[in-house]
Structure 1
Amino acid sequence: MSFIINAIGIIVVFAIAYVCSINRKSVDFISIALMLILQLVITWFMLSTEIGEGFIQLVAKFFLWLIDCSMSGINFVFGDLAPLDGPAPFFISVLMPIIFIVAFFDVLTYFGILPALINIVGFVLSKLTRTPRFESFFATQVMFLGNNEVLAITRKQLNEMDNKRLLTASMLGMSCVSVGVLGGYMQLIDPKYVLIAIPLNAVGALIITSLLNPYKVTKEDDVVYNPAKEENKRNFFDMLAESMLTGGRMALIIAAMLMGFTALITASDSILALFNKSLSLENIFAVIFYPFTFLMGVTPSQIFTVSQFMGEKLATNEFIAMGSLHPVLPKLSEHTEAVISTFLVSFCNFSTIGIILGSVKSLFDEEKTMLIAKNTWRLLLSGLLVSFLTAMVVGLFIR
């Protein structure tokens, strides 16, 4: 039964995107069908084949190894607060490893390993989906680097492009994650759902943006910007030091946001409770998301609870929602765990809109900034529809 419900849900997601499209006549349905098939193949491969399962386990072990390595450095500084063989506070066990993980992937970038991987994946994705090369490479980059970083490194080409392509790039950024936080995710939800959601989000973002903001790109414009190599390559240890400081700032910023948003939710719920004891932000969003949660095939008795996690993510961020979900996971059915876990793996929330708008304002002219500001609702809609699509596609394979 959940299979049929998820299939209907996918159709509903496509219908909403089509109705909200800027130019329905330009929608390339063949490309969209190819991308949906690609999503199904990826999910089948990762969940239903021994090779795919082995790949997930290998990558998960790799990230857990990174976390173990990071904990050795954390233990050196924090001592008994960061035991190597026992539980530690959330800030220590989940956020502090970000420092080493960010540095590790910056080293891979420095030596050209990560950019080479992005180029290969972006090239293959473009050929398989018939989407423009730049958009395919952008979707691949946001799988690894995050939204404002990719906007920054592609700003020269985006400045010369039609404004519609900047809007697509901004919408793609709503469904991204950053490799620096994947280790934190994997400590809160099943690592396999984290790893499945990442490629599905990238392809799903291309699907939804192709429906919401379709356009044709000429062969002359179908190019990818390659940053010029610096004559004097940056000093390795200077890069490493700045990378670690960046990771540290990221961990502190996330911690500050978690404390602030958690306190804000508590205060808001206390005020709302003055009007009605059952009134809270989680319950309000739960009512809004209820129909979509049903279309994700969630067990009927768990629909309201799952809707609360979805609303919590939208209002705050995925870390807070995952933290609330973590202790409840043993009580959820396998299907429900799969769909809510994959739904949460993205940066889609209200604060991300502010981050993207701020990045656009600092990188581009007033005309481009105004375009993105006028379409902030499309950014939010795009991110939500991608998350729903990812969850529903995964739900087809887990009953």
Structure 2
Amino acid sequence: MILVERYQGSIMTVPFRLPAVPQDHKLARRYIVQTILRHGATVMLAWVVILAFGLILAWRFESLRHLDVWNLPTTLLVSLVLPLLGCSATAIGLARQHLDGLRASGTPLTSDWMAARVRREASSAFDPMTTFDLCAEVLSSVGAGTALGYAGPPAFDHDPFHGTMALGSRRPLRLHSHVRIRISRDEGGTTCIRIEHLPGLQLFLAPGQALQAVETVAGLLRERLRQRGLAMETARRAQELERAALHARLSALQAQVEPHFLFNTLANLKYLIRTDPERAQGMLDSLVGYLQSALHDMRAVSSTLGRELALARNYLSLMSVRMGPRLRFRIDAPDDLLAVPMPPAMLISLVENAVKHGLERATRPGTVTIAAQTEGGALQLLVNDDGVGFTDQAGQGFGLSNIHERLALLYGGAASLTVSGAAEGGVEAVLTLPLAATGA
């Protein structure tokens, strides 16, 4: 059922009649008194101006000579009291009509709705400076003025040193009704936003004007903080997705090292089975022990220098079974560096290149030397061999390109790999990793 009601000269269509809300009689009387004072002050001011203007004209045209001076105060008093009485009766009727409309619409009458000073508080998940910048950005815009019912951008003042700002319809703000915002950090570390409406010199404001202004400002600020929070959450999720994609790519690159190493080892084992079955059996035993101890580390996301050196030692021990006295190796690393984190499967690739491209092609015995040291806030790993040195294929292998790509993904330009000819012959590879980011 659709009902049509007349409310303050306008027609309102509602789908059903809302239940009447009981109102506080003290607040209702207070509202009636405020309405009488507001209308009475306006009428009195206008009537005083009219009387003063009439007296000035009468005095100028000498019309006061014909008036009874003794009856003049009575005449003025009556001319003021009668309009006030009529205005009071009209104000009472308007106030009661408004109260009936609030009661019929189900809107409760509250002290904040009638007050000229209304306060609200909100909390922010950001620090005070960020919160202040966000609030200043939204409150100084044309959208804030439109939301508050202004003709254009609001009059806006701010003091970032004290965390305060104010906005109103016109300047000077202290003389007119305006909204003041204060941003501070409470004892618990939470950023608090205090919003207050100040009437200025306007003693009588329209009912609900202060409450509406404060609620509008609070809504604008909460919405802006919510949008900023959503933007930061979206950025955080994007970073997490990017980080996950990076880890997936690194894992794929790292996993490519394992079949490459196993393929070479199995190819060597196949050769030994045909040429020297006894050494092949020893190599197979060494391979099983190597896989049991090192395969888990090669699949890890991060490793340590000690674990990578142990992996290299197992590998060299495995290769020495096949190469015999042609392969010697030496590992030199301080004990205090063994716990330093580093990416897995990089050192073993350099050692494998030294054996495959340096010593296997040589017709004489050779030595692989691994050394670790710190220099300039970085971890340096040196892999040196005294084999055949650079050839046409040197520096173009799969292992080196894999390391370069992984270093670029993990450290950008903060890490490096250089491969150069050694002074005494052979090749020297230097892997440099920043100590502050070796656990990335």
TM-score by length of 2: 0.19
**Higher helix fraction (1 or 2):** 1
- Higher RCO, Cα 8 Å, sep 6+: 1
Structure index of larger Rg: 2
TM-score by length of 1: 0.21
